[in-house]
Every structure is written in C-alpha cells, then in structure tokens.
Amino acid sequence: MALLAPSMNHSEIERTQSPHVSDGVLIVNKPDGWTSHDVVQRTRTVLGIQKVGHAGTLDPHATGVLPVLIGKGTKVAQYLVNWDKEYAAVLQLGQKTDTQDAWGTVLEEASCESLSEDAVRSVFSTFHGAIEQVPPMYSAVKVGGQPLYKKARKGQTVERQAKTVVIHDLEIQRMAIPEVSFRVACSKGTYVRTLCDDIGGQLGVGGHLKWLQRTRVGPLHIEQAIDMESLPDAMSYDGAWWSLDRALESFPAVEVNDDDARKVLHGNAIPWHRVGWVEERPGAAMTGEGMRVRVKNKEGSLLALGKGPLLQSGQNSPVLVLDTVLG
C-alpha cells in the first residue's frame, strides 16, 4: 500500500518544527504514489521550514532518489539538475500505451512468443551513447507555453522536437520475456519510459515501462536515502543530509580574505589576484569564460558560487564574478 500524505493544520506544523534545520540537500527515497511536490510539501510541514524545493522530478509511480533542497539549498537547483541519473527499471514487452508506462491506456498489443533473448539483447545494444528521444506527450515539457500533459489529457497530440540525450550504460539484469529488468545510467532529460517505448518499437511488439526506481542522482545514492517516516530526524542522518559545500564539491574551491568576504556577501566582484586556491584541481586551467568555483572565507565557510577569472567591460584585470550568494 502506498504511503499517504495527509494534510496537517497549523498547530500540527508548529509541533513538528525542528530547531536544527540547516541549509543543504536531503536525499529522500520517494514512495510510490507521491508526486515530487508531495514530498516537498511534507518536508515543509515536518521540518517547519518554507524554503524547500527539489532537483529533478520523479513521476508519481516512480520511486527512489529525490534530492530535496532545504533553505539556501533552493538557490543551487540549477547546478544539481545537470547531474547524471541512474535507474533500475522493468520493460514490459507486447503492449504499447499512450503514457509509455503501465498506468496508461493500451494502444497496441502483440505476441512475444517468437521473440528471442538474442533479439532483445541486440536491440538493447543499439541504445548507447548519444541518442535522439522525442519527449512523450504525457510530460512536463512545454510547447507553446503549455505543458504537453495538459494537451494530452484533452486528447491532443502535437509535434515535438527530438532532443539528444546520452545513455552512458545500459545493462540487462534479468530477462523473462515479456519482462526485461535492466539498469540504465543516463544524462539529464532522459525519459526511461520513452526508452522502453523505443525498444519495444524496434522489436516490433511494442513496450512500456512497468516499474522504475531512481537509484542515483549524481553522487547521491539510494543507499543513503531516508524514507518519509524518517523526516523528523532527517538532520541526524549523515548519509542522507549533505551540506551545500559537500553537494557542490565537484566545483573547485577558492578563498578570500575577511574584507573581500563581506563584499562577496553583497555580490560584489573581487579582483582575481586577491583570490587564493583552496584546492586547485587538475585541468582547472582558466579559460576566457572562467570556471565555476566555490567561494569560501578563511575559516572554510561557503559564501557563494562564482566564476573567474573574467574580464569585465572596461576593466584591464580579471575578477571573480559572483553567481549565487549562499552565505
């Protein structure tokens, strides 16, 4: 049975408020039947904080890793949504549906009796590297300013532009035709249900996504995620709770002195010669566009994200430009 998300009144919210909520990223294992927004709403209620968001929507019937952004963590969504994803999934062959998953209307059916495992493996092997995907009608992609799913619910179908996504790894884990269990590591924007639909189409029998669990988002793994029932104690789970500094550690760190730290907090650019490396990375050579870095004070506290060195109009010396102030 799916875990329900009952509403709570104002007094209940006050009783659940935690005095130890910090800015950061919480790794939540989204349950079946919950929207990503449901998880955000429950987190607001349980932790008693209004600034809550997420990085990467999961369909209601999908489970698994949902990065929930807390406090100033909501400012870094744009940097996290680009992370690669990994999923465990089950492909159901022999049925094509309008939603490309098990919760839609069956449009076509075909027998899989003559389908061999070798044929399935052969088609799977063609989905590797950069591929083209047409976004499904039942998706949040906007065409003409309106999400496709709204048009789909009215029975409308519109032309969609194919987009390039990257399949880093696609591995069949179990096959019992008409079901195929597999693991896929892919770039952001990849629709696993479209992958299932495309594979079924190439096999000539149709197919749809029967089950989906997101097992990884960037460095965040399902083994670290907490269930919704554990939200009241979220801050005590080291694996599930990531500081902003930890979540953004793929960006090299620089530091500034106390005077410049105050300027950073006001969003002011800093002369690059006054910026010092905390941890210069191999391949971190500067380009004309600069590179994104974490900006810290001398005590090691994260203040902002910025780019540098950059030459601004009318200046002769490069500067560190602030993108997002976090301190």
Active-site residues, by number, are 59
**What is the rounded distance in angstroms from the CA atom of residue 284 to the CA atom of residue 278?**
12
**What is the rounded distance in angstroms from the CA atom of residue 282 to the CA atom of residue 261?**
26
- Residues facing residue 68 across a β-bridge: 26, 54
3-state SS class at 182: strand
Q: Which residue type occupies 320?
A: L
Residues whose CB is less than 8 angstroms from the CB of residue 67 and which lie 6 or more positions away in sequence, other chains included: 25, 26, 27, 28, 54, 55, 56, 80, 217, 220
Angle 278-281-282 (CA atoms, 0-180°, nearest 5)? Answer: 150
3-state SS class at 194: helix
Q: Which residue type occupies 277?
A: W
How many residues comprise the chain?
327
**What is the rounded distance in angstroms from the CA atom of residue 187 to the CA atom of residue 189?**
6
Helix segments in 48-167, DSSP class H = 77-80, 117-124, 148-153
**What is the rounded distance in angstroms from the CA atom of residue 251 to the CA atom of residue 307?**
10
